Amino acid sequence: MTTKNKILLQAANVLLCAAIILLTAFFMSGWSVLVQAAFYAVAAAGLAAEAVFLFIKKEILIKLTFIAELIAVVLLSVFVLLGVFADLNAYPTDREKIEAVITLVRSTGEWGMLVFVLIQFLQVVVLPLPAVVCYVPGAVIWSPLTATLLASAGVIAGSFFCYFLGRKFGRKALVWLAGKDAAEKYADYIGNRSKGIFLIMQILPFFPDDVLCIIAGITAMNFPYFAGVIVLVRPLIIAAYCFLGNGSIIPFSGWGIPVWLAIIAVFATLAVLSFKYQKRFEDWLFSKFSRKKGKLKKEEKAQETIETEE
């Protein structure tokens, strides 16, 4: 990332933090103090991250900050719009507000479902939203099965779009989206080392799905293999989020509270570890597949030598 881009990203982060503070102050007064405090905390964390970046110069820090602040602004914007159309201030508690929103979305019928599918498509192609933000609301509004089917349709369509985007525009699209270094690294390992690593990358949360799909389109990976991986893997992951996230398996009350706290703690730990050790993990994973690929090539060469001598 160039110095100019870093400055622009930092400026965008500061503006997003300011937007969060202003939106919360002027439009979230009807919500509980806890909800307001959560948004203020996100803004404060973003500003703190900007200050830390001045000393440690980690690009990933400002990128993650941008994603977090952008998600918060999007959520706040949704709350503001819903507050206008659903008159949420007429409901005294947060629970009643949320139930009113769910009722409103359900009343839209197929149009609401279509918008949900579109959001899943966009989160693969352009929106850096975490899975829990995209999938779980659908499970709460409709049902885990319905949300899984709808989200899978959007994600699969978005993945196919990225694949053919790579086929059409090649490395230019990839470099524009992911940067030159990341583009070359992932393209090398996915295209030349092993298709199996693409499957693993789709399962693990450390890798950017949109970038991987574009790379798959750039490399020699054929579409049937790519489509098979996406169609088989992504719906299973989405189903896990939907069925766990709506509270039907692990309730949000009683014995479920400590379980959810433990799950949140585990995911928070994994997030920190992935932030700190992602490069090491990638290097280890790539080295494993590189050695495996090299071993297979040696065996093939030895077999060819034997056949030639015979």
Which of the two residues, 143 and 68, has the higher pLDDT score? 143
Would you say residue 11 has pLDDT above 60? yes
Average of pLDDT values for 256-285? Answer: 66
pLDDT digits (tens, 9 = 90+) for 58-67: 776 777 788 7
3 confidence band (pLDDT: 50, 70, 90): confident
DSSP state of 109: T
- Predicted pLDDT at 68: 79
Q: Using an 8 Å Cβ cutoff, are 173 and 161 in contact?
A: no
Percent pLDDT > 70 in the chain is 71
Q: Tell me, rounded to whole angstroms, the distance of Cα 244 from its chain centroid.
A: 17
Distances from the Cα of 281 to the Cα of 7, 131, 274, 278, angstroms = 29, 21, 8, 5
- Residues 168 and 48: their CA atoms lie apart, in Å, by 41
- Residues 202 and 25: their CA atoms lie apart, in Å, by 40
- Predicted pLDDT at 149: 93
pLDDT digits (tens, 9 = 90+) for 73-87: 888 888 888 777 777
Average pLDDT value for the chain: 76
Cβ-Cβ contacts under 8 Å for 191 (sequence gap 6 or more): 215, 218, 219, 220, 221
Would you say residue 29 has pLDDT above 70? yes
Would you say residue 177 has pLDDT above 80? no
Cβ neighbours, 10 Å, residue 17: 23
Q: How big is the CA angle at 146 (ends 85 and 141), to the nearest 5 degrees?
A: 30
pLDDT digits (tens, 9 = 90+) for 193-218: 556 667 777 776 666 666 778 777 77
Expressed in angstroms, the distance from the first to the final Cα of the chain is 56
pLDDT digits (tens, 9 = 90+) for 125-167: 776 666 667 788 888 888 889 999 999 999 999 989 888 887 7
Looking up tokens 């948004």, which residue turns up? Answer: 39
Average of pLDDT values for 170-184? Answer: 62
Closest CA to 156 of 239, 204, 245, 228: 228
